[in-house]
Structure 1
């Protein structure tokens, strides 16, 4: 597998010949960095690996609160102790070897960072896994990654129970929501969820162990600290790409470390303190955006409040009331919903310094309403799974709503037209990125890697403009990807599932605008014979797709528009849909 990474930005550009347009863009962006007092480069030699970075955090901030959830807090010292126990269990009792893949399928609970850092410290490769996955999706990811173990929350373990026998998973580690809480609170919370709310189904695996028992086994031994190299694989982060089949983006220790350090350099513009800030973390840690931010918060010794279910706005508000919080990450949908909540306006926003937005476009309306209610601005950024994830972000000293800000230090930007020719400042072109945060490639898919990373440049599929002031703006999306509340939904995946239906001859999926979630899925289907029972079709899809991928709209046609060679024209369907909506 070809590896794409850089020791530092200087070496990345050494000997490179820039076109006139690339040089113009670079000079414009660097002028903006200088004007706004932003770093142009970052020292990537500070840590040798994510394990080294984690060790620095827990030794530097031992007594600081690290993570809180459901009213209980783990200090950095607690994270050190518990993750070491889990690492010891993995090395001495699980049968796993360094380099083996371990899937984590949990929402934002205290166990997540313990398991994550324990796995990395033991030399394992982490596979982040969406707790909402259907059986089909989970089976594909476990098989594709070659995962040999999975750590799963008991509440959602029924899906894993159904698919694990058809995968290479040898060990299942099961945890309950309050497993790391004190005994009395643990018994109460877990008991209510299991016996009163009936939210914990009975499951059976061929080989499984409760997480608490695994930690107890690990407590009796010492783990041997892994010594991964910067270029070693740390994380398989799955993304649909453009082919419909979910692919694992290979994120190295260096990729993620670089992005944390690059982002930290920009954080200076938000006037955040070291070891003094509390961040509300509602976005799921299995998503690369929230995953990287958690590392960043830790590097500065600050405190993250984990929200297990951000869709439950009452629980989000409850946590916000509990803490004097100074930062938050979110997406446009969540900001809109919170501002509409009757209790939100009564919260104490006096400590709030920074609100970060990513995953989907931030609307002017949401940004305006948030500032009106909280007194603080939202700073939008841009990134992809393949860039670990941040490419650019709005700085604290020059926020421009409607843009994606300034590229992070050490990040090169290039814009190309449809023929691959460079375009300059003020012109539209596909955004291409080069820098130390760009992934190593797609797991076991060199052909897909070579289509995405060309001559060291990652082609994003998004059309952008570099403004005269050096700020970037996304103006179009070249790919067919649908963005639902910050989650990538790929039409090919939905169409592949639709094609399994016995009475569908043709199908297509597109994204249509939605005030709440940015976009939602609409499908077009042509039956083989007779008609389509929409209720039956929805039930068919519900068994095979995660909730946010479910179509909101279904349109049945006799046939779909196609090219001369028979390819369904999604763009035609999208244009027709937009025209129809504009006419209303």
Structure 2
């Protein structure tokens, strides 16, 4: 088990997220958020804008505990909407705007929100789902703005207990249909304050925010709020936009795909990154050679962290750590992590097992699924469904989802270990190792490979022969399939469920 001694992170008895994250005195003239189109919101404006939004939401029937869904492009107004919901003690449901109509309909039908605030382009699907709707576009206009601008600039704050729900976030659905995970106000506050403390976020910091709105609210936006940092919002990740804004930032958070694209641009160098303090990575594994290449190019070592929808960010390296490509750091202050076997017994340091977490404010459960909620806990520990290992110092290495574990001929194969060997082969840009049905072995190890543009003569047979020199025989892929591009979700994670569906029949017949 791993836990560390650090200053305690406290959550007040009145855990209204707005008052805890935004009410602390800030210079009213300092920039709170700057949008890509030049719109600026200053700290002194936040209270009055969110009060007007909260007044409108209340007029639409929203009260404490009611669900408010947001299907929005990124904008300062979209972040302020979340804070307005917090003022009321409502439960915010961020929905990624890039989902299909069918996916959005599923979430709205499952959550049944009291109100949906959506981009005008998605209003039809919201109305079709039978939901009450207000609109807000990327330019900061819509019925949310029109109907709230004449309302009072003050609105009472609802008292909220740490155990009251603050948000319901749907899982990314890389291994199945998205599920709603209810997060408490205590969890959101503790996580935001813990990350601000661990990363040293303060009022002199500027976060360059290029992550998706729905997925970047917690773990990116809320720690910046907790530390009082300024935020520069980009509508999405684009290399040119990031390079242009980077000299004015001190913190950038992204997935490995972002960093690979930055390094592919010759303008990304140490001079451009001279004012940066932290580059944070996570959500997907990063190749060790790419990790080291980033250090050489930028002059900074990436800071990896590990998180899940249900617990937000669970572990993180600290700025003072040496930071290895295979380490996602230590548990956040006041929490603990352990690695257990199939019977739930802790395993020795260095051994592989299932990752379990214990936090002061555990997630409240899956929406309308008490059975799955109960199955997710063991004696107060949350069963993440991921497997990994701890080193002697308590740093965690995450080896993948439990659902991705391959059992071939009765032996366990951990995909990330095989992927590291495949990625080291000349010409390989990225790989995904999956298990597919096999008549003899039950499951066979199969590597799906994306090649670099120069690797036109890649020989899969020679590659398998090379892997036999670095991996035990049962871990060596029995077949390598080449793809032009990996299927990914919005967070940059490879969608292995789609690869498994595509290649499940390769050993049949």
How far 1:515 sits from its partner (Å)? 7.2
Aligned to 1:317: 243
Instruction: Give distance in 2, aligned partners of 1:463 and 1:558.
Output: 27
How many residues were matched structurally? 434
Using structure 1 for the length normalisation, give the TM-score. 0.68
Alignment of 1:52-131 (within 5 A): 52-57=19-24, 59-70=25-36, 71-92=38-59, 94-131=60-97
Where 1:173 maps in the other structure, the secondary structure is: strand
Check the 8 A contact 1:79/1:113 in 2, yes or no: no
Alignment of 1:35-434 (within 5 A): 39=6, 41-45=8-12, 48-57=15-24, 59-70=25-36, 71-92=38-59, 94-154=60-120, 156-157=121-122, 160-165=123-128, 167-170=129-132, 172-179=133-140, 210-217=143-150, 219-220=151-152, 222-239=154-171, 244-268=176-200, 272=201, 274-287=202-215, 290-310=217-237, 312-320=238-246, 323-345=247-269, 348-387=272-311, 389-401=312-324, 402-434=326-358
How far 1:95 sits from its partner (Å)? 2.8
Check the 8 A contact 2:194/2:332 in 1, yes or no: yes
Using structure 2 for the length normalisation, give the TM-score. 0.77
Check the 8 A contact 1:231/1:254 in 2, yes or no: yes
Instruction: Give distance in 1, aligned partners of 2:301 and 2:14.
Output: 32
Instruction: Give distance in 2, aligned partners of 1:547 and 1:243.
Output: 11
How far 1:301 sits from its partner (Å)? 1.7
CA deviations 1:435-469 (Å, max 9, x no partner) are 12431111111011111122211111211111112
Instruction: Give distance in 1, aligned partners of 2:8 and 2:50.
Output: 32
**How large is the RMSD of aligned CA atoms in angstroms?**
3.3
Aligned to 1:200: none
**Of the two structures, which has the highest relative contact order with CA contacts closer than 8 Å and spacing of 6 or more?**
1
Instruction: Give distance in 2, aligned partners of 1:557 and 1:452.
Output: 28
How far 1:296 sits from its partner (Å)? 1.4
- What are the ranges of 5 or more consecutive residues in structure 2 without an aligned counterpart? 406-414, 417-431, 435-445, 453-486
Deviates more, 1:100-109 or 1:136-145: 100-109
Kindly indicate which of the two structures has a greater share of residues assigned to helix.
1
How far 1:512 sits from its partner (Å)? 4.2
Instruction: Give distance in 2, aligned partners of 1:319 and 1:42.
Output: 32
How far 1:107 sits from its partner (Å)? 2.7
Check the 8 A contact 1:64/1:301 in 2, yes or no: no
How far 1:81 sits from its partner (Å)? 1.8
Instruction: Give distance in 2, aligned partners of 1:392 and 1:466.
Output: 12
Check the 8 A contact 1:147/1:168 in 2, yes or no: no
The structure 1 segments of at least 4 consecutive aligned residues displaced by more than 3 Å after TM superposition are 240-243, 480-483, 510-516, 546-562
Instruction: Give distance in 2, aligned partners of 1:400 and 1:558.
Output: 40
CA deviations 1:354-410 (Å, max 9, x no partner) are 1111111132223222222221121101011111x1111111222322101111111
How far 1:314 sits from its partner (Å)? 2.2
CA change 1:399–1:112 in 2 (3 A) is farther
- What are the ranges of 5 or more consecutive residues in structure 1 without an aligned counterpart? 1-24, 34-38, 181-208, 484-488, 492-509, 517-540, 563-584
How far 1:416 sits from its partner (Å)? 1.1
Where 2:323 maps in the other structure, the secondary structure is: coil
CA change 1:556–1:443 in 2 (3 A) is closer
Check the 8 A contact 1:265/1:409 in 2, yes or no: no
How far 1:555 sits from its partner (Å)? 4.6
Check the 8 A contact 1:256/1:292 in 2, yes or no: no
Alignment of 1:515-534 (within 5 A): none
Instruction: Give distance in 2, aligned partners of 1:135 and 1:371.
Output: 41
